[in-house]
Copies of this chain bind each other. A is one copy, B any other.
């Protein structure tokens, strides 16, 4: 009771966070406002509002102020921010999505999207950032060929991303059922070495120990994926064609935004 109820009450009543949000909303709505007007609106003292303004500025909000008669506070609309809590798989999904679209060549506003993603990355715990880098190293992008069958990509198994993450990062095998172009079904167990995007088709490049060679698997033909613990896993040099390059090379800014 004391834990949960305290927190609930806090959220309902006049929390610091709630008050600051109210200030931001008011500034957004009215365009410009004075400290005293804000104080009355949120039901706090002038001093407290000024303290909150300072805190908001520290958090990155850009609040212009004019002193003197006719002056007031004004929130820069571009500095409006939102706090979102994302799980790690969601971040991975967003990152891969944007990467894939850049690969397909039709990504406008990519600078903004990347800026957003970089912020999300920075908010990740540092160990997860390392994982993310390792994952991006495995992501390779090929050239879009106009001659390809563009409608051929089906739906992927929703469990695939989780299995990938576990397999790539934890150096596990990945086991799955595969349905090839001739509808033959086999069960595979490979070491995942890279992810390859040849728009609009996605492939898993894996080392198949049973066949002692690399194999490409179209992701939409994979079902029931599963990460399997292994001890013998090692990174191998994947022999890509000349027109395929790693995503991290195409867009180095993602890697330079953090330490690894």
Residues on A close to B: CB < 8 A?
A: 3-4, 7, 21, 24-25, 28-29, 50-51, 54-55, 58-60, 77-94, 96-98, 100-101, 104-113, 115-117, 119-120, 122-125, 127-128, 144, 146, 149-151, 153, 156, 158, 160-162, 199-202, 219-220
When the two chains form the complex, which single residue of B3, B82, B108, B156 contacts A219, counting CB atoms closer than 8 Å? Answer: B108
In the bound assembly, the distance between CA atoms of A4 and B54 in angstroms comes to: 7
User: Within 8 Å CB of A21, what residues of B?
Assistant: 125
CB of A115, distance to nearest CB on chain B (Å): 6
Copies in the complex: 2
Task: State whether B79 touches A87 (Cβ < 8 A).
Answer: yes
Task: State whether A83 touches B85 (Cβ < 8 A).
Answer: yes
User: Within 8 Å CB of A202, what residues of B?
Assistant: 106, 108
CB of A122, distance to nearest CB on chain B (Å): 8
User: Within 8 Å CB of A86, what residues of B?
Assistant: 81-82, 84, 116, 119-120
In the bound assembly, the distance between CA atoms of A123 and B85 in angstroms comes to: 8
Closest residue on chain B to residue A126 by CB atoms: B25
When the two chains form the complex, which single residue of B59, B92, B100, B160 contacts A106, counting CB atoms closer than 8 Å? Answer: B100
Task: State whether A78 touches B85 (Cβ < 8 A).
Answer: no
Task: State whether A93 touches B106 (Cβ < 8 A).
Answer: no
User: Within 8 Å CB of A220, what residues of B?
Assistant: 108
User: Within 8 Å CB of A100, what residues of B?
Assistant: 101, 106-108
Task: State whether B83 touches A123 (Cβ < 8 A).
Answer: yes
CB of A100, distance to nearest CB on chain B (Å): 7
Task: State whether A88 touches B82 (Cβ < 8 A).
Answer: yes
User: Within 8 Å CB of A116, what residues of B?
Assistant: 84, 86-87, 90-91, 93-94
In the bound assembly, the distance between CA atoms of A56 and B123 in angstroms comes to: 17
In the bound assembly, the distance between CA atoms of A51 and B2 in angstroms comes to: 9
In the bound assembly, the distance between CA atoms of A58 and B1 in angstroms comes to: 12
